[in-house]
A and B are shown apart, each in its own frame.
Chain A
């Protein structure tokens, strides 16, 4: 199997797929890609299943060397890839020759991106998933210089997206509860106000927010109960913490609200220091948003085309190049 060798990477770099299921009852965090949409986008460009494992890059990025000829693709809301010093167009797979240096970077405006390898990453699964969970070591030791990452191989000719995938926009949508009754009624309105930004304390486990204090009605200790991705817990200091994929399975602080499943990836992409707005939606709206995210991911399958494909008029239209052209005739 062709391998990619890690040359340098920040601590936020890990291998992630859809996540690890059925072990939360034993205290095992589900882990999994922070942003499913861009994991799927990167994988599809190299002929892998949308939920296959890829390298998740956090702030700082990473450098690699290809051990043999290998198709790679990077996808994220704001990131850049170069192969042997040559800049690769966004959302485009690139063939790296043996020995080529691959540099992947997160650019300002986002927090995560996915580097997919030809056919998908082929590291050994651990309890049904290749996702790494740093705190427990499940899924393997953290990536370090010299780590060799095998690719399944057998990918297609390089592909590119006709139109880059995008998240929905607008406030991050939440559903109140499960412990909103631990707070005075105005607390949810405060949470949905303008005052919050992400602190620098942000990782795959959770993100601490900075802003108005959310006072508890009476006490902030509860007997531990289950936590989900997107739980917004409020410890004694009143500063909310959003729990994400590497969270613990149970916890003892009241959770005022929960980010809807469709918006976890979108929230995770907000860089530290940036403001965040929340808005309350209904369960039906949350389910509709989950269906749209699923459709968006399924739609990606048909949205990538071979790089070498001839530029048909339909493709030109799709690329939206026509708008700038007034005449096909050369000017006199």
Chain B
């Protein structure tokens, strides 16, 4: 048993060493370019929304809603995954990644019905982000509160 374990360890190391890795340089470049383009587009939207007279806070919410809408639409049309295959973190990190993570399972689980399908599975990918994001904000809030108390 011990020998088998050692053999497996050796094999695992060999496999990991020979496995072709994703090309970091190209991935970084595409993530930077496409992610950057999304940010430029968002900034453009913000300028547009404030230009037509929205208050800055409202305009910011409008930008986010627009990006979420476009992502959901592209996801539904089957185009988002094609872009994301190239863009990687470029589409994943902005709000677009989160929107896609909700739209994709919603479309996917439609066949299992509105309740047990779409309703239950819509947060299958985004769920952990929401849960631990909320939890982290609570922890952050407590720390902030204590620091404020001490710092006066």
Asked if A and B are interacting partners, one says no
Give chain A's interface residues, CB within 8 Å of chain B: none
